[in-house]
Amino acid sequence: MDITNPAPADRPPGPASPDPSAAEPAPAQGTRTKKSKSTVRPGDRIFLGLSRGSGVLLLVIMAAIAVFLTVRAAHALSVDEGNFLTTFDWKANADPPVFGIAVLAFGTVVSSLIAMVLAVPVAVGIALFISHYAPRKLAAPLSYVIDLLAAVPSIVYGLWGALFLVPHLGGLYGWLDEYFGWTGVLAYHDGAARSLFTIGILLAIMILPIVTSVSREVFLQAPKMHEEAALALGATRWEVIRTAVLPFGRSGVISASMLGLGRALGETMAVATVLSPSFLISTSLLDPGGGTFAQNIASSFKESGETGKDALIASGLVLFLLTLLVNGAARMIIARRKEFS
């Protein structure tokens, strides 16, 4: 009997051999291994520093603008003989100076609201048509035309509005007066069509490409799986858009609208070319007159003295604050919708 090579059953017990299939315990789910500082690439550090510095620089520039406007506005308000918020006149170069922003604030807000009411629904419709209805052969050139319209200078829109839009709005104004003149807001007294309603139409045409371009890109990012699931359940194309595309792109449409509103609030040359400056508030939006902050600054800055320039800067401060409030309100709306979505 050979005892030099005992059977496995007869081998004496010894230390267990390591199991090659056994692996080290995996880290708990949700934990991340810390990277040492030596593993961070220099390019990442440079990019982080540049991005952080750009953000800080932007805040510094905004603060510098706010301080400059506040200092110059304080000097203007200290010599104003009227009420800056409620005065309907602008005689900043008189002695004593009297000026107020009541007409300018009314004209700026009303013309911008008219532009938003006219432009946003049309822009959303065009964006939906390009992204979900139009064939590719039509969608591509149509998108190019929309983007091209966004690049047209404002002075070109102003010349077109003064030479073409104003002479051809008499028929529309007559129709509005015939059917809606009883409201008083749309009464037309056969004057020149250089009114706040004309400015609203012109601004609507100007902001239409911006709102359309941004909304189109947002709608194209809608999850395809949601759209296909709705189609599989028997939904029509409009039901797919209503249930899957519009809820997804709501915040993007709001952001696009705020971009358009920002341009409408601060538009200068187009408004100054079309609107005749007047410090009167009419009950009808179709009557000539009115004014905006940007239009008054552009038309009055050259002949203004030191006090007059400070007064214009004070009105610019109001426009600056108005723009900040609008954008802040938009951010709050978007954040609230994301919270409840």
Q: What is the three-state SS of the chain?
A: CCCCCCCHHHCCCCCCCCCCCCCCCCCCCCCCCCCCHHHCCHHHHHHHHHHHHHHHHHHHHHHHHHHHHHHHHHHHHHHCCCCCCCCCCEECCCCCCEECCHHHHHHHHHHHHHHHHHHHHHHHHHHHHHHHHCCHHHHHHHHHHHHHHHCCCHHHHHHHHHHHHHHHCHHHHHHHHHHHHHHCCCCCCCCCCCEHHHHHHHHHHHHHHHHHHHHHHHHHCCCHHHHHHHHHCCCCHHHHHHHHHHHHHHHHHHHHHHHHHHHHHHCCHHHHHHCCCCCCCCCCCCCECCCCHHHHHHHHCCCCCHHHHHHHHHHHHHHHHHHHHHHHHHHHHHHHHHHHC
Question: Which residues, listed in sequence order, are joined to residue 85 by a DSSP beta bridge?
Answer: none
pLDDT level of residue 255 (50, 70, 90 thresholds): confident
Residue 212 reports pLDDT greater than 90: yes
Mean pLDDT value across residues 30-54: 74
How far apart are alpha carbons 255 and 16 in whole angstroms? 67
pLDDT at 148 over 70: yes
Query: What is the pLDDT averaged over residues 255-271?
Result: 88
For the chain, what percent of residues have pLDDT higher than 70? 86
Q: Using CA atoms in the order 194, 195, 198, 199, what is the torsion angle rounded to 10 degrees?
A: 100
CA angle 237, 241, 245 (to 5 degrees): 145
Q: How far apart are CA 98 and CA 308, in angstroms?
A: 10
* pLDDT for res 147: 87
pLDDT in tens, 170-187: 888 888 888 888 888 888
CA distance linking residue 248 with residue 241, whole number of Å: 10
CB atoms within 10 A of CB 177: 17
Please give the average per-residue pLDDT across 3-26, as a whole number: 50
* Mean pLDDT, rounded, for 6-20: 50
**Could you say which of 1.10.3720.10, 1.10.15.40, 1.10.10.370, 1.10.287.1080 is the CATH number of the domain covering 61-337?**
1.10.3720.10
Q: Is residue 17 pLDDT above 90, yes or no?
A: no
By mean pLDDT, which of 113-117, 159-163, 233-237 is the weakest? 233-237
- Over range 14-23, report the average pLDDT: 50
Q: Is the pLDDT of residue 272 over 90?
A: no
Q: What percentage of the chain reaches a pLDDT higher than 90?
A: 22
- Rounded to two decimals, the pTM is 0.80
Q: What's the confidence (pLDDT) of residue 230?
A: 84
pLDDT band at 129 (very low <50, low <70, confident <90, very high): very high
The answer to whether residues 195 and 285 touch, using CB atoms and an 8 Å cutoff, is yes
pLDDT at 7: 47
The pLDDT of residue 243: 87
Query: pLDDT (tens digit, 9 = 90+) per residue, 279-305?
Result: 777 788 888 878 888 888 888 888 888
Question: What pLDDT does residue 29 have?
Answer: 52
Q: Compute CA distances 275 → 88, 101, 265, 330, whole Å.
A: 17, 17, 15, 29
16: which 2 tokens? 């267990």
Predicted confidence at residue 19, as pLDDT, reads 52
Mean per-residue pLDDT, 87-91? 83
- At 174, the amino acid letter reads G
The token duo for 18 is 């390591």
Sign of CA dihedral 86, 90, 92, 95: negative
- Check whether 315 has a pLDDT greater than 70: yes
Look at residue 2 in the predicted model and tell me its pLDDT. 47
What are the sequence ranges of the domains in the chain?
A: 61-337
